[in-house]
Amino acid sequence: MIVDLAKFPSFTEKAKHFASAHRISCILDSNAYADAYSKFELTIAIGAADLIEAKNFDEVASFVSQHQNKWVFGGFSYDLKNSLENLRSLNPDYVQFPEAFFFVPQHLLIFKNDVAEIVSDNAETLFNSINNLTLDSRTIHESVEVKQRFDKATYINTVNQIKAEIARGNIYESNFCMEFYAEGANISPYRVYQKLNQASPTPFSAFLSWNDNYLLCASPERFVAKRAKKLISQPIKGTIKRGLNEQEDLELALRLQNSVKEQQENVMIVDLVRNDLTRSAQRGTVQVEELFGVYRFKQVQHLISTITCIKNPQLTNIEVIKNIFPMGSMTGAPKIKAMELMDHFEKTKRGMYSGAFGYFSPDGDFDFNVVIRSILYNRTNRYLSFQVGSAITFYAQAQQEYEECLLKAKAILEVLT
């Protein structure tokens, strides 16, 4: 069923509200950031015709294989790394998302070019249910008391310990993360997501309801996508604030693009991603399509590089993702040692933070983001969490890294407090 959005101008917002009330649902919103690899502007998946909670990639592979030619939505927790390498995550996990979770939706809405396609056995009934919905226009101010897992002095001391590991030659870059959290938090997840998406609209924004676990995501980063025979990864490394006007924006962008430190961070991860993609590529096809591209978002500007290859046809989509998981921008290099050390220095399990959320489509494509700039919420125990991180290299200044973390946390803190 096709819906002309010009005739039903409130249908999009009603559909989001309708989906958010279901125990299993998700919203993927590009916020009008279209690129060469975009498949839709917005998609909404509602209800589960089938689902899985998995502890490893093999279980996910079996589920996806059972549902070929269907849309499948879901996510991979960062801590699936422990099923791939000899690693452990002994830090506490207060949010308690599954290690991996996927579902085949009962109803699907795909928005593109001012129309919405409803894919459902009961498309007309679904349309009427959504269209007859009355939106609640009341403004509700939700505030929680946010605490930091690291105070400033402890953070700076820890960064200096990581730099000592770099000086010893154990690693040459890491992504060190710290948690902000609230206990006893009583929020309306979709309303908070709305505020977050307004404060920080990004191309890989997502809302997920998975029973009593919620992901409210404002991610600007693509982990990996497949389009026909092509694989695409777009790691972010390099961050600077937005300017107060166009001239200041341009000056800051040039400073970011010409920063030796930021270039070092970015190129290290580009090399890591190139190496990871080689495991899934036809020989000789890995290339850097763009290096050090400056991209503006509402809160920050980022350096983003694009690495592509032609997929080895003998590999399944799950094998491709498994070969490059977790994403290099959130680990560091060498990858395994960096992950091991961050488990030691960080104080909480990452869980879905720095994992990936996205979809497999019926045509054999897929697209997954990097779960950053995101709120994780467990409604059962009323625990709310978000984490931020930055790249630590030999030349990193702990004070500046701390300030970068606060800059990345700014939009979420404003939404919550």
Interatomic CA distance for residues 100 and 42, integer angstroms: 23
DSSP assignments along 90-101, one per residue: -S--SS---SEE
| pLDDT of 159 strictly over 70 | yes
Instruction: Say whether 114 sits in a helix, a strand or coil.
Output: coil
What is the residue type of 390?
A: S
Q: Phi and psi at residue 135, in whole multiples of 5°?
A: -75, 140
pLDDT band at 141 (very low <50, low <70, confident <90, very high): low
Nearest partner of 81 among 100, 105, 95, 96, judged by Cα: 100
Interatomic CA distance for residues 163 and 5, integer angstroms: 54
Nearest partner of 193 among 409, 16, 4, judged by Cα: 16
What is the residue type of 42?
A: L
Interatomic CA distance for residues 75 and 101, integer angstroms: 6
Interatomic CA distance for residues 306 and 273, integer angstroms: 10
pLDDT digits (tens, 9 = 90+) for 207-226: 999 999 999 999 999 999 99
pLDDT digits (tens, 9 = 90+) for 229-262: 999 999 999 999 999 999 999 999 999 999 998 9
65-80: average pLDDT: 97
What is the residue type of 4?
A: D
Interatomic CA distance for residues 364 and 376, integer angstroms: 29
Cβ neighbours of residue 374 under 8 Å, at least 6 residues apart?
215, 216, 217, 218, 219, 352, 353, 386
Say if CB 9 and CB 331 are below 8 A apart: no
* Residues across the chain: 417
Say if CB 382 and CB 183 are below 8 A apart: yes
Nearest partner of 39 among 372, 359, 374, judged by Cα: 359
Interatomic CA distance for residues 113 and 26, integer angstroms: 21
134-154: average pLDDT: 85
pLDDT band at 273 (very low <50, low <70, confident <90, very high): very high
Query: Please, which contacts does 59-63 make with residues 24 or more away whose CB atoms are closer than 8 Å?
Result: 59/100, 60/100, 60/102, 60/318, 61/316, 61/318, 61/319, 63/102
End-to-end CA distance of the chain: 41
132-157: average pLDDT: 87
Say if CB 376 and CB 97 are below 8 A apart: yes
pLDDT digits (tens, 9 = 90+) for 337-379: 999 999 999 999 999 999 999 999 999 999 999 999 999 999 9
CATH class of the region 2-416 = alpha beta
pLDDT band at 35 (very low <50, low <70, confident <90, very high): confident
**Maximum distance among all Cα pairs of the chain, rounded to whole angstroms:** 64
Domain spans in the chain, listed from the N-terminal domain onward: 2-416
| pLDDT of 139 strictly over 90 | no
Strand partners, 72: 360
Q: What is the mean pLDDT of the chain?
A: 95
What pLDDT score does 349 carry?
A: 97
